[in-house]
Amino acid sequence: MTNQACAVILAGGEGKRMRSDKPKVLSEVLFRPMLHWVIEAVRSAGIKEICVVTGYKREDVEDYLATIPFAVETVFQSERLGTGHAVMTALPFLEKHRQEQVVILNGDAPFVDAEALKTVLQTSQDRVCTVVSAVVEQPFGYGRIVRETDNCSLSAIVEEKEADDAVRQIHEINSGVYCFAVDALINALGRLTKSPKTGEYYLTDTIGIFKADGQPVAVFQAANADSVLGANDAKQLQELNEIARQRVLNRLLQEGVIIPCSDGILVGTEVTIGRGTVLLPSTVLRGQTTIGAHCEIGPGVLLEDIVIPDNTCVRR
């Protein structure tokens, strides 16, 4: 198997509980669509060939993708018939990447870890499938990872509604990120059948197909539990924003930026700030903003796509 890899990002969901007019994957975390975060992680992992599976308000997603400075393929899932069906719509893309690996992931999980993706790709070159997992404190609602007795390979992914009491005690969950050998995946997709309960095709059913063929499925446990987090409603989206906000502020503190009180401070991921600069409460910095060293910004200031030279004081 070669080291080449591609990615399929599932981005067709409506996200009804968001109560938003935009597709779920375009909901923003720190001023950037969740889909942007996922694409950035994929590219940071060294994957350049990307296919986005669209669905609800496909035009909005396509319009957004047209704004990024590199090409991304799209396919349209006209009917939402499960994750397996979503990947089936990307078969023409997969056919072009036979003999490679493919990472499949969700477009609404913005904290997927690029370094974890790199490791999975490196360690999965001779495997038909690796499932990325994470250990979380509250596993309710997630598919549980049940391992074989060797504790390395996967026995099953058991959904919450089908789990017994013993399985519900498992805190290792399916992240929704998979690495497949493309040829093996194409073969398995052709053998998927609809769920008799829902009429949908599930990507997780490929696990049973591989195991029936005597091909073990590996599990890679991500170190960062945040990598599995997504948002199904506005409250969860707010929680993602707070995690991202704190990450940026912690990085800035390590770089020598002074933040006496972080109340109301929002700093986008593309903003750069020089050491010794003081950020005061209710300061919002976004876009391609660059702030020099030893400045004082705030309180109550909004700056966007602007350059502030060293030793400058900016107040409301």
Residue extents of the structural domains in the chain = 5-228, 255-314
Contacts of 166 (CB under 8 A, 6+ apart): none
The answer to whether 264 and 249 are in contact (CB under 8 A) is no
Are both 5-228 and 255-314 of the same fold?
Answer: no
Token pair listed for 193: 């059948």
Whether the pTM exceeds 0.85: the reply is yes
Per-residue pLDDT, averaged over 260-287, amounts to: 97
Tell me the percentage of the chain whose pLDDT exceeds 90.
Answer: 79
The answer to whether 237 and 25 are in contact (CB under 8 A) is no
pLDDT score for 31: 96
Per-residue pLDDT, averaged over 282-311, amounts to: 97
Per-residue pLDDT, averaged over 66-71, amounts to: 94
Token pair listed for 168: 């519900």
Please state, rounded to an integer, the average pLDDT across all residues of the chain: 93
Q: Are strands 154-158 and 272-273 parallel, antiparallel or unpaired?
A: unpaired
Per-residue pLDDT, averaged over 60-78, amounts to: 95
Token pair listed for 196: 């008799």
Is the predicted pLDDT of residue 1 greater than 70, yes or no?
no
Give the model confidence (pLDDT) of 255-271 as tens digits: 999 999 999 999 999 99
Per-residue pLDDT, averaged over 154-160, amounts to: 87
Token pair listed for 105: 């992931």
Fold of the 255-314 domain: UDP N-Acetylglucosamine Acyltransferase; domain 1 (2.160.10)
Contacts of 23 (CB under 8 A, 6+ apart): 11, 13, 14, 15, 54, 55, 56, 57, 60, 61
pLDDT score for 2: 45
Q: What is the CATH number of domain 5-228?
A: 3.90.550.10
Give the model confidence (pLDDT) of 170-193 as tens digits: 999 999 999 999 999 999 999 999
pLDDT score for 3: 64
Give the model confidence (pLDDT) of 38-48 as tens digits: 999 999 999 99
